[in-house]
Chains A and B, each alone.
Chain A
Amino acid sequence: MAKTLRVNETPLVLYCLRRADDALILGHRLSEWCGHAPMMEEDMALANMALDLIGQARSLYTYAGQVEGEGHTEDDFAYWRDERGYRNALLVEQENDDFARTIMRQFLYASFADLYWQAMVKSKDETLAAVAAKSEKEMAYHVRHTAEWVIRLGDGTDESHERIAKALEYCWPFTGELFEADESEKGLVAEGIAADLSSLRDQWRTNVKAVLDEATLTMPQDGWMQKGGRSGRHSEYLGHLLTELQHVQHTVPGAVW
């Protein structure tokens, strides 16, 4: 862990990194599809969504660097923290598996992120409000696109129904973490900088349920929810993802790319 960047995680820095890490890791996952999607139109769409997310991550990392004031760049955060330093939710690092899993993961996350960025437009932090204004539009598109697929797959063939139902079952235990906030985050909520995540959950459920109903899928019961990503306790998948993402920077350190 010697190579890991030491970040001064003040509440606002940590807050930005959590959002940025969600966006980067999910964007990276989507980018793994490029050239291998079930149809060319989806190659385009998945790449589009990946680009939106990577763009969001870049803005947020840059801002985290400014707030931290240690001269760290977007790439320092992305390429020089190891898996214990990453702050993304567990949902976004889960493997692509089949198209159904990728779509369901994206649908559940985007349904959250759309509401989240809508709320963040009113943030007292001008930079976060500006990122929110852009991201909210992007996530609304992600919701629309993936909801259409959830419905198509759920109400398509027996095989597609089975696959999307399995994907829902797999992803569900990771959704609780999206709405979790620790003490450091609660302070930012009180200051009007951060949105109150727990307040978004009912609307999220309503929106998700409407789509699942149309897809002839059953909304799962909330059982035990997996968490840990926000404080750097991840699944085994993240380390492999980061090994790949960080490979060139670590092979030729100190270079300008």
Chain B
Amino acid sequence: MYTQALNNAPETGERQVEDAARMESFQARIDAEERIEPNDWMPAAYRKTLTRQISQHAHSEIVGMLPEGNWITRAPSLRRKAALLAKVQDECGHGLYLYAAAETLGTSREELVDQLLTGKAKYSSIFNYPTLTWADMGAIGWLVDGAAIMNQIPLCRCSYGPYSRAMIRVCKEESFHQRQGYENMVTLSKGNEAQKEMAQDALNRWWWPCLMMFGPPDAASQHSDQSTRWKIKRFSNDELRQKFVDATVPQAQYLGLTLPDPDLKFNEETGHWEYGVIDWEEFKQVIAGNGPCNRDRLAARNKAHAEGAWVREAALAFAEKRRARKAAA
């Protein structure tokens, strides 16, 4: 996991001061599908947009460890326990990897993490929902990771080299997570009544928030023209959402589960599944900090950070001592 189109309006104000000729050759490189690398010249707004997007993505990975981490100690078999732990560990790895990619744009991890902890930075809305039963581990892998993959596959071709390369690796792991989650759902939906009920309940709760992961509808969303021109974004929110729905409906049918949308129907003409109205007010509220778990998630990250301060200080102090001893020797 997990990038989300939360705020796509690039800062265009600084653009005017950039050298027009440089801008032109920069755009020419993008148009030629060349990758922009950290030491290359880039417009300030490009740097800013990417720093924000990559760090939001990194924050999402780190906060995303919490809802699934909630079930590691209660996984119902040792195989599931190991798989879930390894998955959450992967997410941490993605976070680290992405912070490193963001750092190539000139902002330190400490600064970026601080933005998360103080609530200045956003992360994917999906992690502000609670994980209430074991079936949520299946539903998250299947749907949340599935939605994330839809979002992230196009980012493998993002114009910024470090981000695109990070995405290639991350997507490989995400697709493994998605299959793992789906396999969990298959087991539950073939299980006893209690397990089937658990699986359906999880799907009911996660379906709509997953559709919101793609961000506001195109008609209402802020312009992402500049991101598109810069080949950071390749598909619109609605396009990606539709791809996700089309891919997921047959998977739900195979499980024998019902998607919680009475308006869902297949349009023979377009070849797409049409879905009902998304509750954008809920989305707005979750983004604004009023989701069921926003405060808990931030509190958990802040607690870990605060309680770890003495450890980080000790590591620094020790490194300093060792340096001084070496110098004196």
Contact = CB atoms under 8 A, between A and B. Distances in A.
Interface string B250-288: 000000000000000000000000000000000000000
B318 A54 contact: no
Interface residues of B, number: 46
Range, interface on chain A: 35 or more
A244 interface: yes
B317 interface: yes
Contact of B308 (A51, A74, A99, A159): A99
A7 interface: no
B85 A50 contact: yes
A23 to B, nearest CB: 11
Contacts of A188: none
Interface in B186-215: 187, 191-192, 194-195, 198
Interface in A20-65: 24, 28, 31-32, 34-44, 47-48, 50-51, 54-55, 57-58, 61
A221 interface: no
Contacts of B69: 34-36
Contact of B310 (A51, A74, A159, A256): A159
Contacts of B92: 35, 40, 43-44, 47
Interface stretch (A10-18, A150-158, A223-231): A150-158
A101 to B, nearest CB: 12
Interface in A214-257: 244-245, 247-249, 252, 254-257
B102 interface: no
A76 to B, nearest CB: 11
B321 A34 contact: no
A125 interface: no
Given A39-B312, A51-B85, A98-B307, A32 B73 contact: yes
A55 B73 contact: no
Nearest to A29: B73
A80 to B, nearest CB: 12
Contact of B96 (A44, A249, A254): A44
Contacts of A159: 310, 313-314
Looking at B88, B96, B99, B304, the one whose CB has the most chain A CB atoms below 10 A away is B304
Looking at B72, B79, B187, B194, the one whose CB has the most chain A CB atoms below 10 A away is B72
Interface string A128-161: 0000000000000000000000011101110110
Contact of A44 (B66, B82, B89, B134): B89
Interface in A157-213: 157, 159-160, 163
User: Which of A40, A41, A155, A244 has most chain B Cβ within 10 Å?
Assistant: A40
A9 interface: no
A104 interface: no
B132 interface: no
A252 B199 CA distance: 13
A126 interface: no
B52 interface: no
Contacts of B195: 252, 255
B311 A40 contact: no
A75 B77 contact: yes
Contact of A47 (B78, B88, B99): B88
Nearest to B63: A35
Given A55-B82, A160-B313, A252-B192, A28 B73 contact: yes
A217 to B, nearest CB: 13
Given A35-B88, A43-B89, 19 more contacts: A34-B69, A37-B304, A38-B304, A38-B309, A44-B93, A44-B96, A54-B85, A57-B78, A99-B308, A153-B311, A155-B318, A159-B310, A160-B310, A248-B76, A248-B134, A249-B77, A252-B195, A257-B76, A257-B187
19 contacts: A31-B81, A31-B85, A32-B72, A34-B85, A34-B88, A36-B303, A38-B309, A39-B311, A43-B65, A44-B89, A44-B93, A51-B85, A78-B78, A99-B311, A152-B315, A153-B314, A159-B310, A160-B310, A255-B194
Interface of B: 62, 65-66, 69, 72-82, 85-86, 88-89, 92-93, 95-96, 99, 134, 187, 191-192, 194-195, 198, 300, 303-304, 307-315, 317-318, 321
List of 5 A-B pairs having minimum Cβ-Cβ separation, nearest first: A38-B308, A156-B314, A160-B314, A248-B76, A38-B311
Interface of A: 24, 28, 31-32, 34-44, 47-48, 50-51, 54-55, 57-58, 61, 74-75, 78-79, 98-99, 151-153, 155-157, 159-160, 163, 244-245, 247-249, 252, 254-257
